[in-house]
């Protein structure tokens, strides 16, 4: 196992020791021990920047299930490295923040950090796995670990509800993605993502292309909270703020973005991919920003803003796929959309992480996140106010912060789509820049709400649970670092261009590069007086007017009926599924073994019989069979008569005798077929069975009256069907021998290998000795149980 594999697995290994650290070091916050791991991993992955930026990707393979073509291949390219740095870097800051946010005396920190480490390891597994089955394994592990993190405060009903909703929706998407993985494997005969990229033209021509693409997008859209699957994300805010900061800025929701980016080379040539990814992204952007404004909880506003920003990144990835349709790198103007997506992905991680931490500080120091109770906190919390201003203004797209640059690039990409002459973009293409601009206006408004409704205006101490004050330095370090990066990347954006953005873009758009060719990314503050700048000025102007008149036009949200929301639809459908499943269950869960056997046998008869005849599998050949003598015919007739007598016997004694005749008939068959040892065994067993029946004769229940004809007819049809199908299978199997039977092996080797002339005994004792031993063991355990029950003497009152 390589160091790269170890880096992915280290969070899982560390999780094993966290409970012991929590128990042994009671005077030290457990987070200090956990913090060392993401710091170490960030430094380790940081070492890959130089080789990756030079075009030298790293991969290492460990065989997992080689017979199925499943290897644990860890692969570091520009895209994987970007996400690995975000996961570990933001993870380290989140853990540092949590040390001061979650007090050891009040929280079960060992479970919190175990869940967080599981989540961190799963995310690293997703972004660094080349094998799709391994990726899917880590994908579902993120759903499970995020479920545990969101429901960390499990005594709260809202936490349990949010955790369940997130898992239901994301696991549904994960199962869809698994279907897409299987389809792609059937087309390419490989689970390797790198090998699939090389077969992209073949995949596109295959009938499975569209179903596989749709299934993959369902996985990506559910994970990255795209419309209409976004409804789980606002409820995930019930998690502790460190979890929210981690999930929203760098991990959970970015997994869907990663999947879309990673499979753009595979699916991006299709017009369906362009329209779905770009269209759903721009709708999510507008929908999320519009609904963020009506929220009154700081974390709820940030949650909807995350939905909106994820839609922005998704739309850029969709627009960037248009660049795959050009042959010359110089004319690939749409590749700038992918550059913008990567840049905004980084920017979003910095400003959203700082904003969530600032919201957590406000909640921690005032006892509330309700903006209706907040106001006038700027003088009490000046550092938190500064952090919030930087993060919110960057999110609003204002200079000189990094969000302004990526938002300008976003406007440019949407405007360039009007020049795209494929996929009938000229029909609905105008909606992309229009919706982008409208959504940016709403983004500006909710960003101003976060800043001014919280820190300016009237101070309302009577509505606060605590006297507000600035947070301790330890809680401020992480958001200060992130806010500093917002400013740094805003002023010096090209510090990321060569090292991070260029190799990540090359990973998403490999077709655009000739051998040795690289993307050259240069981000400028000033592009002249172009339409993008006019759009920004319009956003600021209209945004200020709408914010000042917020109280008047915010009433428009009341026009939307609360009963016709996606959340209500989710709740109703879940309740409907619950009630429907109970009704279906009541139909077949009758409590009678007879009914269950009837269902099973009916299914066996129908499916086996259909397969037998629809596939022309039934044949009947008598050549090579031994002749049937008169003795066998008479004996078979006697056995059939005995079996039928059991069904119609009116006395218990007659039934016992008829049952015995069937058993003794089988023994006689063994005699005819020259198997005296089997005949002796059958005779002994049958004698004992009949004797036991006779001994228990007094305690046997009286035979009941005959049931009604319809039910007896159903039993007759089921039994007749089972007997017929099994007989046909036996006859067909005997008539279609494609190889020599195993009996010849035992005939040749019983005496030679085991020294026994009785082949049956040799098989039981030597060839399948362990099987016989375990059968004897089971019989011995049953005998001991029966003996204990016979000897058991219960006193009065215990019998019930």
Six-digit token string for 139: 């994908």
- C-alpha dihedral sign at 220, 224, 228, 233: positive
Q: Where are the beta strands (DSSP E) in 66-217?
A: 70-76
Rounded-to-integer distance, Cα 411 and Cα 433, Å:
7
Is the pLDDT at 514 greater than 60? The verdict is no
pLDDT at 377: 94
pLDDT band at 310 (very low <50, low <70, confident <90, very high): very high
Q: Where are the beta strands (DSSP E) in 52-109?
A: 58-65, 70-76
User: Which residue would you say has higher pLDDT here, 57 or 620?
Assistant: 57
Paired residues of 519 in beta bridges: none
Q: Among candidates 35, 34, 45, 54, which has minimal Cα distance to 4?
A: 45
- C-alpha dihedral sign at 446, 448, 451, 455: negative
For 524-528, what is the mean pLDDT? 77
pLDDT band at 330 (very low <50, low <70, confident <90, very high): very low
Rounded-to-integer distance, Cα 486 and Cα 348, Å:
9
How many degrees, rounded to 5, is the angle at CA 35 between CA 358 and CA 90?
45
Q: What is the pTM of this model?
A: 0.81
pLDDT band at 778 (very low <50, low <70, confident <90, very high): confident
Instruction: Calculate the CA 291 to chain-centre distance.
Output: 27
Whether the CB-CB separation of 276 and 223 falls below 8 Å is answered with: no
User: Which residue would you say has higher pLDDT here, 516 or 683?
Assistant: 683
How many degrees, rounded to 5, is the angle at CA 269 between CA 266 and CA 270?
105
For residue 795, the surrounding DSSP H or E stretch is: none
Residue-wise pLDDT for 163-201, tens only, equals 999 999 999 999 999 999 999 999 999 999 999 999 998
For 151-160, what is the mean pLDDT? 91
List Cα–Cα distances, 204 to 4, 198, 209, 334, in angstroms.
33, 12, 6, 21
Rounded-to-integer distance, Cα 209 and Cα 173, Å:
18
Whether the CB-CB separation of 340 and 412 falls below 8 Å is answered with: yes
Residues with Cβ within 8 Å of 36's Cβ and at least 6 positions away in sequence, in order, are none
Residues with Cβ within 8 Å of 54's Cβ and at least 6 positions away in sequence, in order, are none
Paired residues of 74 in beta bridges: 60, 129
Whether the CB-CB separation of 644 and 764 falls below 8 Å is answered with: no
Is the pLDDT at 709 greater than 70? The verdict is no
Residue-wise pLDDT for 256-288, tens only, equals 999 999 999 999 889 999 999 999 999 999 999
List Cα–Cα distances, 263 to 116, 287, 357, 510, 597, in angstroms.
27, 25, 32, 11, 47
Residues with Cβ within 8 Å of 675's Cβ and at least 6 positions away in sequence, in order, are 760
Instruction: Calculate the CA 625 to chain-centre distance.
Output: 55
List Cα–Cα distances, 593 to 106, 599, 718, 772, in angstroms.
51, 10, 15, 29
Mean pLDDT, the chain, whole residue set: 88
Whether the CB-CB separation of 383 and 470 falls below 8 Å is answered with: yes
Rounded-to-integer distance, Cα 523 and Cα 493, Å:
6
pLDDT at 393: 97
pLDDT band at 331 (very low <50, low <70, confident <90, very high): very low
1: DSSP letter: -
- C-alpha dihedral sign at 153, 91, 6, 185: positive
pLDDT at 794: 59
Residue-wise pLDDT for 20-76, tens only, equals 999 999 889 999 999 999 999 999 999 999 999 888 888 899 988 888 878 999 999
- From first CA to last CA, the distance across the chain in angstroms is 60
pLDDT band at 329 (very low <50, low <70, confident <90, very high): very low
pLDDT at 513: 57
78: exposed, middle or buried (Cβ count in 10 Å: 0-12, 13-18, 19+): buried
pLDDT at 385: 97
Paired residues of 75 in beta bridges: 59
Q: Among candidates 144, 33, 146, 186, which has minimal Cα distance to 99?
A: 33
Rounded-to-integer distance, Cα 607 and Cα 593, Å:
21
For residue 190, the surrounding DSSP H or E stretch is: none
Whether the CB-CB separation of 355 and 299 falls below 8 Å is answered with: no
Six-digit token string for 437: 């601009």
Rounded-to-integer distance, Cα 182 and Cα 69, Å:
13
pLDDT at 277: 96
In which residue are the tokens 């770009």 written?
278
Residue-wise pLDDT for 417-439, tens only, equals 888 777 777 788 899 999 999 99
For 140-148, what is the mean pLDDT? 95
Rounded-to-integer distance, Cα 573 and Cα 616, Å:
43
**Residue 407: which region, alpha, beta or left (left: phi > 0; alpha: psi -120 to 50)?**
alpha
pLDDT band at 796 (very low <50, low <70, confident <90, very high): low
Rounded-to-integer distance, Cα 395 and Cα 610, Å:
62
For 111-131, what is the mean pLDDT? 95
Dmax (CA) for the chain in angstroms is 109
Residue-wise pLDDT for 296-305, tens only, equals 999 999 999 9
483: exposed, middle or buried (Cβ count in 10 Å: 0-12, 13-18, 19+): buried
Residue-wise pLDDT for 464-512, tens only, equals 888 999 999 999 999 999 999 999 999 999 999 999 999 999 899 876 5
470: exposed, middle or buried (Cβ count in 10 Å: 0-12, 13-18, 19+): middle
Rounded-to-integer distance, Cα 180 and Cα 263, Å:
12
Annotate 410-436 with b (16+ C-beta within 10 A) or e (fewer). bbbbbbbbeebeebebeeebeebbebb
Q: Is the peptide bond before 549 cis (omega within 30 degrees of 0)?
A: no
Residue 799, classed as helix, strand or coil, is: coil
Is the pLDDT at 761 greater than 70? The verdict is yes
Q: Is the peptide bond before 653 cis (omega within 30 degrees of 0)?
A: no
Residue 129, classed as helix, strand or coil, is: strand
φ, ψ (nearest 5 deg) of residue 64: -110, -65
Please report how many Cα atoms fall inside a 13 Å half-sphere around the Cα of residue 627, on the Cβ side: 3
For 226-252, what is the mean pLDDT? 90
pLDDT at 328: 46
Rounded-to-integer distance, Cα 254 and Cα 229, Å:
14
Rounded-to-integer distance, Cα 78 and Cα 48, Å:
9
pLDDT at 747: 82
For residue 513, the surrounding DSSP H or E stretch is: none
For 558-581, what is the mean pLDDT? 87
List Cα–Cα distances, 547 to 294, 450, 493, in angstroms.
12, 12, 30
In which residue are the tokens 């002994």 written?
684
Rounded-to-integer distance, Cα 532 and Cα 407, Å:
9
- DSSP letter for each residue of 640-695: HHHHHHHHH-SSHHHHHHHHHHHHHHHHHHHHHTT-HHHHHHHHHHHHHHHHHHHH
């Amino acid at each position: 196992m390589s160091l790269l594999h170890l880096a992915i697995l280290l969070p899982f290994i560390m999780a094993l020791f966290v409970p012991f650290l929590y128990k042994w070091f009671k005077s030290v916050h457990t987070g200090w021990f956990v913090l060392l791991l993401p710091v170490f991993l960030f430094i380790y992955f940081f070492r890959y920047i130089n080789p990756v930026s030079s075009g030298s990707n790293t991969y290492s393979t460990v065989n997992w299930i080689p017979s199925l073509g499943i290897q644990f291949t860890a692969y570091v390219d520009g895209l994987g490295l970007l996400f690995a740095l975000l996961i570990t870097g933001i993870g380290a800051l989140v853990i540092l923040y949590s040390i001061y946010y979650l007090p050891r005396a009040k929280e079960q920190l060992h479970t919190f950090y175990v869940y967080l480490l599981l989540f961190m390891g799963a995310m690293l597994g997703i972004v660094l796995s080349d094998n799709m089955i391994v990726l899917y394994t880590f994908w579902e592990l993120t759903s499970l670990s995020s479920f545990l993190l969101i429901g960390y405060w499990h005594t709260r009903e809202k936490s349990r509800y949010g955790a369940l909703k997130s898992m239901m929706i994301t696991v549904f998407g994960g199962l869809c993605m698994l279907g897409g993985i299987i389809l792609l494997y059937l087309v390419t005969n490989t689970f390797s993502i790198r090998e699939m990229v090389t077969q992209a033209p073949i995949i596109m021509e295959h009938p499975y292309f569209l179903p596989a693409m749709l299934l993959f997008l369902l996985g990506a859209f559910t994970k990255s909270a795209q419309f209409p699957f976004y409804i789980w994300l606002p409820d995930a805010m019930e998690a502790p703020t460190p979890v929210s900061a981690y999930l929203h800025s760098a991990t959970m929701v970015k997994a869907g973005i990663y999947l879309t980016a990673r499979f753009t080379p595979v699916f991006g040539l299709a017009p369906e991919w362009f329209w779905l990814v770009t269209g759903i992204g721009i709708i999510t952007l507008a929908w999320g920003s519009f609904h963020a404004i009506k929220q009154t909880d700081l974390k709820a506003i940030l949650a909807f803003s995350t939905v909106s920003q994820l839609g922005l990144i998704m739309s850029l990835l969709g627009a960037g796929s248009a660049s795959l349709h050009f042959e010359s790198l110089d004319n690939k103007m749409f590749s700038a959309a992918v550059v913008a997506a990567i840049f905004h992905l980084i920017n979003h991680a910095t400003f959203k992480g700082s904003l969530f931490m600032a919201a957590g500080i406000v909640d921690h120091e005032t006892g509330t996140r309700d903006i209706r109770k907040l106001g006038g906190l700027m003088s009490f919390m000046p550092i938190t106010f500064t952090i919030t201003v930087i993060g919110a203004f960057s999110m609003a797209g204002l200079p000189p912060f990094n969000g302004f640059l990526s938002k300008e690039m976003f406007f440019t990409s949407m405007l360039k789509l009007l020049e795209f002459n494929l996929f009938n973009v000229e029909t609905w293409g105008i909606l992309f820049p229009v919706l982008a601009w409208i959504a940016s206006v709403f983004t500006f408004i909710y960003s101003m709400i976060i800043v001014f409704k919280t820190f300016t205006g009237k101070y309302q101490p009577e509505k606060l649970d605590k006297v507000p004050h600035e947070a301790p330095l330890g809680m401020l370090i992480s958001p200060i670092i992130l806010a500093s990066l917002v400013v740094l990347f805003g002023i010096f954006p090209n510090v990321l261009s060569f090292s991070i953005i260029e190799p990540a873009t090359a990973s998403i758009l490999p077709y655009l590069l000739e051998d040795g060719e690289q993307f050259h990314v240069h981000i400028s503050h000033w592009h002249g007086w172009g339409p993008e700048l006019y759009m920004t000025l319009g956003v600021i102007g209209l945004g200020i007017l709408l914010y000042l008149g917020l109280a008047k036009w915010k009433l428009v949200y009341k026009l939307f009926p609360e009963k016709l929301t996606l959340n209500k639809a989710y709740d109703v459908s879940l309740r409907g599924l619950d009630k429907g499943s109970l009704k279906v269950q009541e139909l077949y869960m009758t409590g009678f073994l007879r009914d269950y056997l009837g269902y099973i046998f009916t299914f066996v008869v129908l499916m086996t019989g259909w397969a037998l005849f629809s596939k022309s599998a039934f044949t009947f050949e008598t050549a090579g069979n031994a002749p049937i003598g008169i003795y066998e015919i008479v004996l078979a007739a006697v056995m059939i008569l005995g079996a039928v007598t059991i069904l119609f016997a009116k006395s218990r004694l007659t039934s016992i005798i008829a049952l015995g005749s069937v058993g003794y008939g089988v023994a006689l068959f063994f005699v005819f077929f020259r198997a005296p040892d089997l005949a002796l065994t059958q005779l002994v067993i049958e004698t004992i069975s009949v004797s036991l029946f006779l001994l228990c004769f007094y305690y046997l229940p009286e035979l009941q009256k005959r049931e009604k004809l319809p039910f007896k007819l159903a039993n007759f049809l089921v039994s007749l069907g089972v007997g017929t199908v099994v007989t046909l299978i036996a006859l067909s199997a005997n008539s279609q021998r494609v190889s020599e039977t195993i009996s010849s092996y035992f005939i040749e080797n019983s005496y030679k290998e085991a020294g026994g002339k009785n082949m049956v005994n040799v098989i039981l004792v030597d060839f399948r000795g362990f099987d016989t031993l375990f059968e004897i063991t089971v019989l011995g355990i049953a005998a001991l149980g029966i003996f204990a029950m016979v000897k058991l003497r219960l006193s009065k009152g215990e019998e019930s």
